[in-house]
Amino acid sequence: MTVNETHDPSLRSWIDSANLPGCDFPIQNLPFAEFRRAGSDEPYRGGVAIGDRILDLAALRSRSLFEPSAQDALAACSEPTLNRFMSMGRDAASRLRGCLSAALRSEAACAATLQADLVAQADAEFALPASIGDYTDFYSSIHHATTVGRQLRPDNPLLPNYRWIPIAYHGRSSSIGVSGQQFHRPVGQRLPKGALTPVFGPSRRLDFELEVGIFIGAGNAIGTAIPIQDAERHVFGLCLLNDWSARDFQGWEYQPLGPFLGKNFATTVSPWIVTMDALAPFRLPFARPSADPQPLPYLDSPAVRAAGVLDMHLEVALQSAHMRAHGLPPQRLAASNFRHAYWTIAQMVTHHAVNGCNLRAGDLLGSGTLSGPLPTEAGSLLELTAGGTQEIALPAETRRFLEDGDCVVLRAWCERAGHVRIGFGTASGTVLPARELD
């Protein structure tokens, strides 16, 4: 995870929009997605974001401009999912990213040729970047775990295993959708306060969760572990993730086996995967508070201690149907940072595979809700409204939990003095009314 010439802040692209201040996708970023022209029957294929454009990697492949290993990676990127490209490992992704950086620089000789391979992001539609075989959602924010635990168990908010083990549950990969996802309010069982018998119907406590998604690249064979010092070599990159939650269903069903219908109806990810290479300038040291247990040896390494944390700014905003109708933009509800996570990416990956579990290219790990230590850094309405006991003010209305028509928008970016800011785009999703029951 080293900073190299692709991170040089003096680099400029021949695509002018990539050089604008505050751009999510400067030449120092170059994230990957699956796209096609909106409304077309074109096959989905890989693309790289540069400014407000997409470089069509299938079209680029046909020009045979790169050395053979990069051409092989381009061939994998030309497919309807990025799974094969991810499986080629970090070295292949790094080589291709380096070639793309050179081809997109202002002095590149191929600039005139590649103009024809650009598609405006505004003219594109996106698919999931990978076929997601398995999805695991972690619980990596101790601030979120403590606040929610205090609502459920006032006398024992944080269970004793939390500081020792990265907690997670196995989610539902089939209901993961790309940004722009719309879903119907889920229906299920809930136990009203003070009642002895549950009732059935639409969720009344629908919530979002501000998370980071971690896409696995090269996997491991079943029965083998991933040592902590190798863990991030098995990670392709990161995206935004919203793990929608029906809190009333979740509270009734989660004991003794954990989440089920309260979590499996929808999860939204951003289309762009920012590679681990692009994130190299934004790493921070990892350290536990001295009073806390230190990680067991299999979850500890010099590399994790030196740079295991990612300084990634996160933001969640809400736009109601009323706000859209009146031309009002989404209102920011909270802002947090991935650096507040109690467990690092490497620790989550290593623990997931320590028992011989085989991770595969395209598998997705969720960070869990990334709340910070301040009330304004809460990553869910469950925290922002103190379990629904307080209201959040919006233009001409209020919220305790999500209403039909609400659109939730997640954003993220990394910035640091001496380096160019890079972003993740957005992950948005909209709540539709519950389906009529037969």
Active site residues: 144
Name, in order, each residue with C-beta under 8 angstroms of 383's C-beta and a sequence gap of 6 or more.
144, 147, 148, 371, 375
- Residue of 128, 120, 237 lying closest to 179 (CA atoms): 128
Closest CA to 228 of 311, 139, 297: 297
Closest CA to 226 of 327, 108, 363: 363
Tokens of 34: 């699956």
CA angle 88, 61, 56 (to 5 degrees): 95
In 3D, which of 240, 245, 270 has the Cα closest to residue 258?
Answer: 245
Alpha-carbon span 251 to 148, nearest angstrom: 11
The runs of H, that is alpha helices, within 213-311 are: 247-253, 302-307
DSSP 205-216: SEE--EEEEEEE
CA–CA dist 393, 192 (Å, integer): 25
The dihedral over CA atoms of 317, 323, 329, 331, expressed in degrees to the nearest 10, equals -30
30-56: string of b/e by CB count within 10 Å (b at 16+)? bbbbbbbeeeeeeebbbbbbbbbbbbb
Residue the block writes with tokens 């006991």: 389
Rounded to whole angstroms, what are the CA distances from 222 to 111, 219, 226, 357, 358?
A: 45, 9, 11, 6, 4
